[in-house]
Amino acid sequence: MKDIRTYYQEAIESSPNPIVLEIGMGQGEDTGWLFQVLVDSGKPYRYIGFEPEPKNLAAINRLPIAKDIYVVAAAVGDRATRVPFYSSGDWPYSGSVKEPKLHCEARPDIKFSQDFMVEMAPLDLFQDILHADFIWCDVQGAEDLVISGGQQMLARTRYFYTEHYERELYAGQIGLAEIHRRLPGHWELVQDWGNDVLFHNKDFP
């Protein structure tokens, strides 16, 4: 079984001008290596990240590569608006625009608070992104919103990597089969690592 890093490396190597979208950057835990693969490819590239939470944005801005990536200070969703954000406090990886549900039972040590509003924007708003070779999506239960607001962008995307859970950790969270069904066009499930899955767009030229 290949790991996701191998699939990602292959995707970048096979593109003449790779474009990568990271949706839900956290504090940049994956951003560094994802970006480095682009740099090492020696090709013209674009790296666009999306992150709504202020404390995470501050951490991203402290990264050595901050000046070389483009960061949108917004959550990705189904419409352009402002929405409440459920922060996971000192734990920076579970905040969501979706209200926590079974997550509170699964991880009672993580405490949520609804302290502020954040900007939300649909992927289809970004018409200047002509295609995406790889979307790295970590949105804590909001996969349905990303897909709903990104039908045009996803049709121009080669690989889509995301989390999935069959339990409703966040209110309205959809499972793997429904994620697959809602992707526009013809997508194949390449690999499922349990709670992380990679899809390939068979319609991508």
Quickly state the pLDDT bin for 167 (edges 50, 70, 90): very high
- Domain with 85, as residue range(s), is 4-174+192-200
Of 32, 28, 10, 30, nearest in space to 133 by CA: 10
**Is residue 205 one of the residues assigned to a domain?**
no
Q: Is pLDDT above 90 for 205?
A: no
**Is residue 187 one of the residues assigned to a domain?**
no
Q: How many domains does the chain have?
A: 1
More confident site: 141 or 89? 141
**Is residue 81 one of the residues assigned to a domain?**
yes
**Is residue 186 one of the residues assigned to a domain?**
no
Q: Is pLDDT above 80 for 107?
A: yes
pTM of the model: 0.96
